[in-house]
């Protein structure tokens, strides 16, 4: 298959970037989007040109490293998959495809299509953990957890932290990400000691870093590779108000 690509090229974080046209020729229909870019890059290397920089690691949809916006959609068309799990057979021969980095003030471009998403780690540092006893592993069945709660927590825990929710959000809000982390830990008994401080610290960190505010567009939910439901944001809103009330009751 052949495609016309319009790829965002940017030499570094503080320089202007622009779209550059490339031809992708003789691409197997079963190539993934990243493999298609590999083939284009091989051509560039042969012609002694600068390769297109893009992120990837596992290439099997579990690590959350790949991060492309394809035709304006984070991770490209289709549901519940990462950029590395998008295959060229989804496109029509001769299609023009726009490829951009995840865009948000909090995700500065490192080069071309690579962005620095460490702001997500900053939010985890602010509260995305539990206090656990060190030493030998505890008996697995010592804390009973109901099936419904366990399933819900597991669903939230499926977040791979790619940041597509931020990229897709017209406000670059990270609330789906934060809500997944807050719900995953806040639903389980092990996460209760820090439940109040966690949600307040994580939301504050999110605000301080400069992420936008959710206005309930639900673009995040639509592109999430792990299909995290936006109902976790509703839970986050509830949890945050509860935590703020508790803190106010103690402090005021």
Partner 1 sequence: MPAVTVSPVPARRFSPNPLVAFYQSSIGKKWVVALTGIVLIVYVLGHLAGNLQIYLGQDRINNYAEFLHNLGPLLWLIRLFLLACFVIHIVATIQLTIQNRQAKPQKYAVPGYQASTPASRTMIVSGLIVLCFVIYHLLQFTLELTHPGYRHLHDSLGRHDVYHMMIIAFRHLFISLFYVLGLFLLCTHLSHGFASVTQTLGINNRKIARVISAGGVTLAWLVFLGYVSIPLTILLGLVR
Please report, as ranges, the residues that interact with partner 1 according to CB under 8 A.
Answer: 6, 13, 19, 69, 71-73, 98, 100, 103-106, 108, 110, 116, 118-119, 122, 168-173, 175, 203-204, 206-219, 221-223, 229-231, 233-241, 244, 247-248, 251-252
Neighbours of 216 (CB within 10 A): 9
Least CB distance from residue 59 to ligand FES, whole Å? 5
Which listed option, ligand FES, partner 1, none, makes contact with residue 170 (CB within 5 to 8 Å by class)?
partner 1
Query: Which residue number, 58 or 150, has a Cβ lying nearer to ligand FES?
Result: 58
CA of 74: how far to CAs of 59, 147, 170, 193, in Å?
16, 33, 12, 35
Least CB distance from residue 153 to ligand FES, whole Å? 22
Query: Which residue number, 141 or 243, has a Cβ lying nearer to partner 1?
Result: 243
Which listed option, ligand FES, partner 1, none, makes contact with residue 163 (CB within 5 to 8 Å by class)?
none
Least CB distance from residue 66 to ligand FES, whole Å? 3
Query: Which residue number, 59 or 246, has a Cβ lying nearer to partner 1?
Result: 246
Neighbours of 193 (CB within 10 A): 11
Least CB distance from residue 175 to ligand FES, whole Å? 22
**CA 105 to centroid of chain Cα atoms:** 15
Least CB distance from residue 118 to ligand FES, whole Å? 17
Residues 6+ apart with CB under 8 A from 36: 3, 24, 27, 88
Find where tokens 């206090």 sit. 131
**CA 32 to centroid of chain Cα atoms:** 19
Query: Which residue number, 166 or 199, has a Cβ lying nearer to ligand FES?
Result: 166
Cα distance between residue 34 and residue 97, in whole Å: 13
DSSP H helices, 113-146, are 118-127
């Amino acid at each position: 298959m052949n495609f016309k690509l319009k790829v965002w090229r940017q030499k570094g974080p503080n320089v202007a970037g622009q779209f550059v046209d490339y031809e992708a020729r003789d691409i197997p229909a079963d190539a993934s989007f990243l493999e298609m870019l590999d083939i284009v890059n091989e051509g560039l290397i042969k012609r002694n040109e600068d390769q297109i920089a893009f992120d990837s690691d596992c290439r099997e949809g579990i690590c959350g490293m790949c991060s492309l916006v394809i035709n304006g959609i984070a991770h490209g068309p289709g549901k519940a998959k990462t950029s590395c799990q998008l295959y060229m057979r989804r496109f029509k021969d001769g299609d023009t495809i726009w490829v951009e980095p995840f865009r948000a003030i909090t995700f500065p471009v490192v080069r071309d299509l690579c962005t620095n998403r460490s702001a997500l780690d900053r939010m985890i540092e602010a509260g995305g953990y539990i206090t656990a006893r060190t030493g030998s592993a505890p008996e697995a069945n010592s804390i009973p957890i109901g099936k419904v709660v366990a399933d819900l927590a597991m669903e939230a825990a499926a977040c791979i932290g790619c940041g597509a929710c931020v990229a897709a959000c017209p406000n670059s809000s990270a609330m789906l990400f934060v809500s997944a982390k807050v719900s995953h830990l806040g639903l389980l008994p092990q996460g209760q000691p820090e439940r109040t401080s966690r949600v307040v610290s994580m939301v504050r960190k999110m605000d301080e870093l400069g992420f936008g505010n959710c206005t309930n567009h639900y673009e995040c939910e639509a592109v999430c590779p792990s299909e995290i439901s936006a109902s976790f944001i509703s839970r986050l809103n509830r949890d945050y108000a509860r935590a703020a009330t508790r803190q106010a009751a103690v402090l005021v």
